[in-house]
């Protein structure tokens, strides 16, 4: 019952914010602009909707997730770091493979789900007690330094409010390509046959 009430309250708050100011951080055109067109609008829509859905599911601020992705990969779903971190949220397979067994970590939906799970687990842990800065330090792996936290929080977003839940497309409804990807995302029969 509490979960349903929580989702309703979140939806009402964001609906009011949308009425007061229609410019959203989750507006896919922002992602397209910040990447200077390297991420097309259809891919940006999928990224945006997944950020919102996973943030809501894990009870974290979607704006923080937008910022993490901007810092970690600049919305490049195929990004691989020199430490082998992968995808939009730079998930480390070495430590988190169990979270996506049998799934492609470069898949937008999978990567955001796993990254948000990790960030939420760290932030909501007994160690951090819900503190965003502590969660960001743990996500980066630098508990003693605020450099990463400061970098993430410095990302400028447009006035923010996530997409209303009715407008969030199902990942299987959208097949996308951008210059970073060599195949359709998500990996579904509709995309392969489309």
183 vs 154: which has the higher pLDDT: 154
In angstroms, the CA 32 to CA 176 distance is 14
Helix, strand, coil tally for the chain in percent (to 5)? 55, 5, 45
- pLDDT, tens digit (0-9, with 9 covering 90-100), for 136-150: 999 999 888 899 999
Where residue 122 sits, what CATH number does that domain have? 1.10.530
Q: H or E segment at 113? A: helix 108-123
Total residue count of the chain as it appears in this document: 194
46 vs 192: which has the higher pLDDT: 46
Instruction: Determine the average pLDDT of the residues in 145-165.
Output: 76
Q: Given this model, what pLDDT does residue 173 score?
A: 41
Instruction: Please tell me the pTM assigned to this model.
Output: 0.70
The first and second tokens of residue 21, run together, are 């100011």
* Distances 57 to 40, 114, 129, 178 between C-alpha atoms, Å: 26, 12, 18, 27
In angstroms, the CA 169 to CA 48 distance is 10
Contact 56, 10 (CB under 8 A): yes
- pLDDT, tens digit (0-9, with 9 covering 90-100), for 81-135: 999 999 999 999 888 888 888 888 899 999 999 999 999 999 999 999 999 999 9
Instruction: Determine the average pLDDT of the residues in 152-162.
Output: 75
Reduced to 3 states, what is the DSSP secondary structure of residue 176?
A: strand
Q: H or E segment at 9? A: helix 2-20
Kindly tell me the sign of the dihedral angle through the C-alpha atoms of 46, 33, 66, 19.
Answer: negative
Reduced to 3 states, what is the DSSP secondary structure of residue 193?
A: helix
Q: Given this model, what pLDDT does residue 102 score?
A: 84
Number of domains in the chain: 1
Residue 72 has pLDDT above 80, yes or no: yes
> How sure is the predictor about 181, in pLDDT bands with cuts at 50, 70 and 90?
very low
**What is the domain range of residue 153?**
2-193
- Scan for tokens 């819900």, then name that residue: 130
The residue among 77, 142, 123, 64 whose CA lies nearest residue 91 is 77
- pLDDT, tens digit (0-9, with 9 covering 90-100), for 56-66: 999 999 999 99
Q: Which residues pair with 176 in a beta bridge?
A: 185
> How sure is the predictor about 156, in pLDDT bands with cuts at 50, 70 and 90?
confident
In angstroms, the CA 42 to CA 178 distance is 9
Q: Given this model, what pLDDT does residue 178 score?
A: 44
Q: Given this model, what pLDDT does residue 26 score?
A: 56
């Amino acid at each position: 019952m509490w979960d349903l009430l929580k989702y309703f309250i979140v939806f009402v708050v964001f609906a009011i914010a949308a009425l007061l100011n229609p410019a959203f951080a989750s507006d896919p055109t922002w992602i397209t602009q910040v990447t200077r067109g390297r991420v097309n609008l259809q891919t940006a829509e999928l990224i945006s909707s997944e950020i919102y859905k996973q943030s809501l599911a894990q009870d974290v601020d979607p704006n923080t997730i937008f910022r993490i992705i901007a810092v970690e990969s600049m919305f490049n779903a195929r990004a691989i770091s020199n430490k082998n971190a992968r995808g939009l949220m730079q998930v480390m397979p070495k430590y988190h493979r169990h979270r996506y067994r049998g799934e492609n970590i470069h898949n937008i939906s999978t990567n955001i789900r796993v990254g948000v799970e990790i960030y939420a687990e760290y932030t909501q842990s007994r160690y951090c007690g819900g503190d965003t800065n502590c969660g960001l330090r743990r996500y980066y792996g630098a508990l003693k330094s605020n450099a990463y936290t400061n970098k993430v929080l410095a990302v400028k977003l447009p006035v923010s409010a996530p997409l209303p839940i009715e407008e969030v497309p199902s990942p299987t409804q959208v097949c996308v390509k951008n210059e970073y990807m060599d195949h359709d995302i998500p990996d579904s029969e509709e995309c392969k046959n489309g």
